[in-house]
Amino acid sequence: MVEHATVATDAVVTLDVALPGIVWGWMITLNMWAKSIGTGVVLIGVYLLKKYGDRAATVKTLMPVISFIFLNIFLLFTLLDLHQPFRMWHIFFYPHWTSAITVGAWLATIFTGIIFVMAAGKILKRIDEEQYNKLMWAAFVFAIPVTLYTATIMGESAARELWQTPTELIQMALAAFIGGSATYLLLGIGDQNIKRDLAIVLGVSATLSFIVYMGEYYFGAMKAEEVAATIAFVKEGGSYHTMFWLGQSMGYIIPVILVIFGLRNKSNSMLALASILALAGLWIAKHVWLVIPQLLNLS
Amino acid sequence: MKLGFLVDLALCMGCKGCEVSCKVENEVPISMWRLRVKYVDVGTFPETKRTFTPLRCNHCENAPCERICPVSALHYLENGIVNVDRERCIGCAGCVMACPYGAIYIDPETNTADKCTYCAHRVAGGMMPACVVACPVEANIFGDLDDPTSNISKYIMQHQGNVKVRKPEKNTHPKHFYTGGGEVNLNPLASKREDGYNLFNNITHLKHVGGH
């Protein structure tokens, strides 16, 4: 790796311009976090409705309402993060279809529209069972690409070697499962069987997500020198070391332990605490992963 | 026609004439650069050497910025230049995240993406880019890569084996070449970047980018 040659060359940058710093910051993290909940409650909600039917009846109203709230948070901060937010309409009138941003914007808009109709229909009681089911399946289908498209934006960010589409696709899906299951657990939806299912989804998703992060943490450096240089920011002595491990602990390690004990003791409060920590930790973990590639000097 | 650039790093003396002329020609705001010359000191005193590397947009044939732009604000011209339409740009900064060369910035005055366009407006009028005109040693060579009789094509032929691009592993197919340089010039990871060891201090990071 070329950075090892610096010992011999002792090459030091002595005059250059300032580096741009973090361009995609906390607003984009909030965007991803809110989207995980907004789509996660649909993916998990449909599963609950199909498996438990009337035993999960409250999900029918809660699912579109919660999803609509978080999708609007996601869309609001997507808009606010634009340097020219009043030109957002350009995406719809001058779409460039090779861009995952364009595809995602269209999908998210259609998805939010479906969710709005479902939520409004349920609240105003202007929707029958058949119409609801049709919309629910449409929402389920759209929830999948809306969950995943951010991973392809990260993959298209060719400058950021750390973000690889296949890995990020898995992380986005797991984040949605964590977001959806944790939200329902916090709301205390359903009986003990439903809570058990939700806790298992939360625990398994958090475990898998943690494993993927650890894979990157310990083996990512083998792929490319840019990844090694990026991962160094979360390794010991790195500027994001503490925050990284805070995110991993809060988001994954502690919730998994709490889920295990919560299931064993049938403790709803433990599962609720696991959910709060998972949601908070998810934001931190995603933020660190978003920021660290931007600390690397590109030129 | 496929316009390209070549910088002969053996000729460049770091005068920053190109940098200044670019700033003036394109009215680039303070704290932003379309083109910059990076100084890297190599070796240990007294065996030291200072290298100079002009860095600008590579006008890649497979440009990640063009691909990720949701509204085609970044687009190809027929002559191969990757141009920016400031009126179309929504300022999502996707291009900033995509460019492996850090060549794109968000203009704090217009809140839109901007970068080197090889002075497309001058080229359209039959003139050379401002940096080419300003270079006192003709280290900047600009021309049509499709034309085997152009200066740049001849230069590339004459320096075969010594012509490099930045980050070829990114598969971007840059149309900006360098001769006479090595890893220290072209690979940012090949040199240290230490606070307090710059000719001018406190320039390591910008606190604010664009309109936020």
| Domain residue spans of chain A | 22-295
Distance CA B191, CA A14 (A): 10
CB contact under 8 A, A5 and B190: yes
Residues of chain A with pLDDT under 50: none
Residue range B84-103, pLDDT digits in tens: 999 999 999 999 999 999 99
* Number of independent structural domains in chain B: 1
* Cβ–Cβ gap B38/A13 under 8 Å: yes
Dist CA B52 CA B9 (whole Å): 7
Whether B211 has its CB under 8 Å from any CB of chain A: the answer is: yes
Q: Do A105 and B89 touch (CB under 8 A)?
A: no
In a domain, B195, yes or no: no
- Whether residue B168 is contained in a domain is answered as yes
Determine, yes or no, domain membership for B199: no
- CA dist A4 and A169 (Å) reads 32
Tell me the residues of chain B between 122 and 151 that have a Cβ less than 8 Å away from chain A: none
Closest CB to B100: pick one of A15, A100, A158: A158
State which residues form the domain around B167. Answer: 3-186
Nearest to B83 by CA among B92, B73, B93, B91: B73
Query: Mean per-residue pLDDT for B114-127?
Result: 97
CB contact under 8 A, B189 and A2: yes
CATH class of the region A22-295: mainly alpha
Q: Which of B33, B70, B166 sits opposite A101 (nearest CB)?
A: B70
Q: Inspect the interface and report whether the beta carbons of B206 and A20 lie closer than 8 Å.
A: yes
Residue B211 lies in a domain: no
Domain for residue B196, yes or no?
no
Indicate whether B111 belongs to any domain: yes
Indicate if ipTM > 0.85: yes
What per-residue confidence (pLDDT) applies to B198? Answer: 67
CB contact under 8 A, A16 and B187: no
By the 8 A CB rule, do B180 and B173 touch?
A: no
Looking at per-residue confidence, does A299 or B70 come out higher?
B70
User: Is B153 inside any structural domain?
Assistant: yes
Residue B49 in contact with partner chain A when CB distance is under 8 A: no
Residue B107: closest C-alpha in chain A: A83
Q: Give me the percent of chain A exceeding a pLDDT of 90.
A: 91
Whether A38 and A71 have beta carbons less than 8 Å apart is answered as yes
What is the rounded CA–CA span in Å between residue A213 and residue B66? 30
Structure tokens at A274: 């696991």
Cβ contact, residue pair A156, B184, below 8 Å: no
Distance from CA of B141 to the nearest CA of A (A): 21
Nearest-neighbour CA in chain B from A160: distance (Å): 7
Q: Which of A204, A177, A199, A135 is nearest to A39 (CA)?
A: A177
Residue pLDDT, tens place only, B54-66: 999 999 999 999 9
- Residue B46: asked if its preceding bond is cis (omega within 30°), the reply is yes
B69 to A83: CB separation less than 8 angstroms, yes or no: no
What's B161's domain CATH number?
3.30.70.20
CA distances (Å), A21 to each of A25, A287, B144, B188, in order? 10, 15, 35, 16
Mean pLDDT for the stretch of residues B113-133? 97
Nearest Cα of chain B lies from the Cα of A157 at a distance, in angstroms, of 4
pLDDT category at B164 given cuts 50, 70, 90 is very high
What does each C-alpha distance from A53 to A49, A56, B118, B201 come to in angstroms? 5, 6, 63, 66
| Average of per-residue pLDDT across B4-27 | 96
Q: What is the three-class DSSP state of B105?
A: strand
Q: How far is A30 from chain B (nearest CA, A)?
A: 15
Q: Are B58 and B101 in contact (CB under 8 A)?
A: yes
**Residues 155-214, chain A, touching B (beta carbon < 8 A):** 156-160
Mean pLDDT of chain B, nearest integer = 92
Buried b (16+ CB within 10 A) or exposed e, A94-112: bbbeebbbbbbbbbbeebb
